[in-house]
Amino acid sequence: MFLEKLMPDQFVESIHHIDIDQLRKRNIRAVITDLDNTLVEWDRPHATPEVEAWLKRLNEAGIQVTVVSNNNQERVNRFCAPLGVRFICAARKPSSRAFLQAVREMNVTIAETVVIGDQLFTDVLGGNRLGFHTILVVPVAQTDGFWTRFNRRMERVALYWMRKKGMISWKTES
């Protein structure tokens, strides 16, 4: 059923609520993360000190990071380059190409990788279709770009049906 492909393996308030020690215990060696409204607000050009610290903790735990974003090269490079973080832009998520490219470039398997994002129809669907462990986070900002606003409306419908069918118990914004 389609709704199951939209079901994240985990739901957390933010990236800062992800237990890095638990990731290591599960033999996770890599993170594929979305950028806009996952790490920072979609219109914030650079990382916050908190995001920088989170990325540093992942690095210290031996966990590689690749940012996979549907946004353009200028936006993603401006954010990632100062941090020395690998990235793939114009990813066309939920398409598989960028997810597979990321694991190939990090030299890890899908089983050793988690996908983190704030959208069901891009991050979670894309990750689930390939068998990644997926983690949905609450969007950092309450505003979105044009296409994301469209996706959010579709997400609200999907979440309504997922809740109605007893698939989820966590609360989301309506």
From CA 86, how far away is CA 58, in angstroms rounded?
A: 14
From CA 162, how far away is CA 91, in angstroms rounded?
A: 27
From CA 65, how far away is CA 150, in angstroms rounded?
A: 28
Structural domains in the chain, CATH included, are 2-164 (3.40.50.1000)
Of 62, 101, 67, which Cα lies nearest the Cα of 81? 67
Query: What is the 8-class DSSP label of residue 62?
Result: T
Q: 42 vs 123, which has greater pLDDT? A: 123
**Degrees, nearest 5: CA angle 19-68-82:** 85
3-state secondary structure of 57: helix
Given pLDDT bands bounded at 50, 70 and 90, which one contains residue 108?
very high
* pTM for the structure as a whole: 0.86
Position 37 scores a pLDDT of 93
Given pLDDT bands bounded at 50, 70 and 90, which one contains residue 155?
confident
